[in-house]
Structure 1
Amino acid sequence: MNDTARIPDSRSVRDGDGAAAAAPSRERADAGPTRSRPRSQQWAAWGFLTPVVIYLGVFYAYPLYRNLDLSLRDYTVRSFVDGNAAFTGSANYRAVLDDPTFLPALLHTVVFTAASLLLQYGIGLALAVFFTQHFRLAATLRAVFLVPWLLPLIVSASTWSWMLNSDSGLVNAVLHAIGIGPVNWLTSPSWSLASVVIANIWIGIPFNLVVLYSGLQGIPASLYEAAALDGANAWQRFRHVTFPLLRPVSAITLLLGLVYTLKVFDIIWIMTRGGPVNSSTTLATWSYRLGFGNALPAFGRGAAVGNLLVLIALGFGLVYIRVQRKQQTS
């Protein structure tokens, strides 16, 4: 028998041992970067998150905490300066709920918000569908409709105050020209709330137009062509194609509009100051008047009204999140 067949080649042994020895070393060399890479990515993630966390803490969390603290203490001008306000618990909330202004202010807030949302969304959707029909000057007209959104609110509110003036307003001049008597838009308890609603609708239409028009651009044209081939008319195409596919965009548009409208203060304050006789007072204007609009401010009760507004907005936000989850799972 050839003995050479039983003797292992020393070179192969060395090569094998070298490969075996080199394999762990390569594994260790490869393992080092894989352990350090996630750590570096974590530090980078924290680096990007830190400014956001600081911003939210300084401009959101701390003001909410201070507002909650204000609502739970008996703050006066003196105690607000020296910080020695007595803790009163829920006394400010009870005082607000028992105040005769609360229910009218809540009702005005509901009417103001609901009317503004429905008409802003309805008119904005109609204009968005109209502008999807490509025609000359469409871009120019869309830019013109954005003007109310671009103007400062104080300018818009002042303009509407002039237009609705009982004596020299443009609206009453037009009504007089067609044989209708003057209307006391801003000084009559019957018309003051309607006046601020009209102004707020005019200001909010451009936002709804822009968002809904963007949503309409994402609907494939092939769906409309297929519906037309099936014999669907314009209303049927809108009802069965446009509106269902636009539902997610509509939901976020209405939610953002709701949050914005709930806290509208400057338009109402500039035009009517919540009057006359609290006929256009909302929770937002009442909160400001309690805290800053009186000679003896009630900081605690004003903060309590503000917190009630926050809870209402938070409640609608949670409802929206729950509806979205149901739609995603269904």
Structure 2
Amino acid sequence: MADVAFQQTSIAAARSERKRSSLKSALQRKSTVAFLMTLPLILLIAILVVYPAGYSIHLATLNKSMTRFIGLGNFQFLFKRDTFWMVVEQSCIFAITAVVFKALIGFIVAHFAHNIPTRKQRKWRGMLLVPWVIPPAMSTLAWLWLFDPSYSAFNYTLSSLGVGPISWLGETGWARFSVILVNVWYGAPFFMIMYLAALKSVPEQLYEAAAIDGANWWQRIWYVTLPMMRNIIAITTLFSLIVTFANFDITRILTAGGPLDTTHLFATWAFRLGIEGGDIPLGASVSLFMAPILAIAAIFILRDINKRGNEA
């Protein structure tokens, strides 16, 4: 009897081992198929992202005529220029301010749109997404007319109220405000649609439980809505921060970096030095300086997301 039981146990163990090995082989085959299916996308990313990034690093190590290797010479030259540090400061102020206002406005608009009856939501979502759908270069040209010193619609309205005209793009403070305003107007709908999708995924039972516990409107937002949306808020903020830091068209069309280079961002100043100034290696060095700043921001945001995921 013991031999029979031992044989049955051995047969069961062998069957279990065969099942595990067959399952492992199936998973391996699926992973291979998945890799082959994503290979075209991987190659596309390598061609459009990895190669240009590597070539930019190579260009940043050359002299102006691109005939001699100078190592970190371009970066050392930039660090000694006051304009470079002004561009760094302006880019950080522009990106952080614009992203904060886009996130705040997007959350407020998404919250109100979420409370609109279902039949009317589609119409309002379509209208609110118009600024984000229009090509930024086209919409920025319309804003350029609104800021025009001679035929500005804003100045005409202010003059009618007795306030007086404002040099929107001719003074440093107003020029920076104008660039940020247009970027917020263009980017806030993206936050709105992302936050609206996140709001629809929050269970209504949580709001009902909070209301039973006596939570008011603000407490329900602070203790229910925001914690449930934290990952979406973090990912959306990171994505917008990257896009805003690399913004080119809005600043280029509105101010072209003026007055006196005080509204230049990394992208516009790199264009000024590399394309208009004929120093492509120096322009590449300016554009590469965005990488460590964005990498630090991405590390902090993604680490926070992973930390919350592990706690959950």
With the length of structure 1 as denominator, give the TM-score of the two structures.
Answer: 0.84
Q: Which residue of 1 aligns with 2:3?
A: none
Q: Which residue of 2 aligns with 1:250?
A: 233
Contact 1:93–1:304 at 8 Å: present in 2 too?
A: yes
Q: Offset at 1:43?
A: 4.4
Contact 1:190–1:279 at 8 Å: present in 2 too?
A: no
SS of the residue 1:278 aligns to: coil
What stretches of structure 1 of length at least 5 have no aligned partner? Answer: 1-22, 80-84
Q: Deviations over 1:240-277 (max 9, x none)?
A: 11111111111111111100100001100001000011
Q: Offset at 1:75?
A: 3.9
1:57 corresponds to which of 39, 46, 50:
46
SS of the residue 1:246 aligns to: helix
Distance 2:144 2:99 in 1: 21
Q: Deviations over 1:193-251 (max 9, x none)?
A: 11100000000010000000000001011111111122221111111111111111111
SS of the residue 1:168 aligns to: coil
- 163-172 or 130-139, which moves further after superposition? 130-139
- Counterpart check, 1:184 vs 2:190: no
Q: Offset at 1:37?
A: 5.3
Q: How many residues align?
A: 294
With the length of structure 2 as denominator, give the TM-score of the two structures.
Answer: 0.88
Q: Offset at 1:190?
A: 2.6
Q: Offset at 1:39?
A: 6.5
- Residues 1:137 and 1:173: Cα distance change in structure 2 (over 3 Å): farther
Q: Which residue of 1 aligns with 2:78?
A: 96
Q: Deviations over 1:30-79 (max 9, x none)?
A: 89x94975675454234213212211211111111100000011142xx4
- The one-letter amino acid of 1:129's match is H
Identity %: 29
- Residues 1:51 and 1:94: Cα distance change in structure 2 (over 3 Å): same
Q: Which residue of 2 aligns with 1:314?
A: 295
- The one-letter amino acid of 2:63's match is D
- Residues 1:47 and 1:329: Cα distance change in structure 2 (over 3 Å): closer
Q: Which residue of 1 aligns with 2:185?
A: 202
- Residues 1:229 and 1:117: Cα distance change in structure 2 (over 3 Å): same
Distance 2:141 2:219 in 1: 42
Q: Deviations over 1:72-126 (max 9, x none)?
A: 11142xx4xxxxx200000001111111211111111111111101110001000
What stretches of structure 2 of length at least 5 have no aligned partner? Answer: 1-10
Contact 2:64–2:282 at 8 Å: present in 1 too?
A: no
Contact 1:124–1:212 at 8 Å: present in 2 too?
A: yes
Q: Which residue of 2 aligns with 1:70?
A: 59
- Residues 1:237 and 1:36: Cα distance change in structure 2 (over 3 Å): closer
- The one-letter amino acid of 2:263's match is S
SS of the residue 2:149 aligns to: coil
- Counterpart check, 1:283 vs 2:269: no
Q: Deviations over 1:282-330 (max 9, x none)?
A: 1221111111122xx1111111111111221122112222112221223
Q: Which residue of 1 aligns with 2:146?
A: 163
Q: Which residue of 2 aligns with 1:134?
A: 116
Q: Which residue of 2 aligns with 1:9?
A: none
Q: Deviations over 1:125-167 (max 9, x none)?
A: 0001101113363321221110110001111110110011111
User: Which one has a bigger Cα radius of gyration?
Assistant: 1
Contact 2:99–2:240 at 8 Å: present in 1 too?
A: yes
SS of the residue 1:121 aligns to: helix
SS of the residue 2:157 aligns to: helix
- 259-268 or 133-142, which moves further after superposition? 133-142
- Residues 1:234 and 1:68: Cα distance change in structure 2 (over 3 Å): same
- The one-letter amino acid of 1:54's match is L
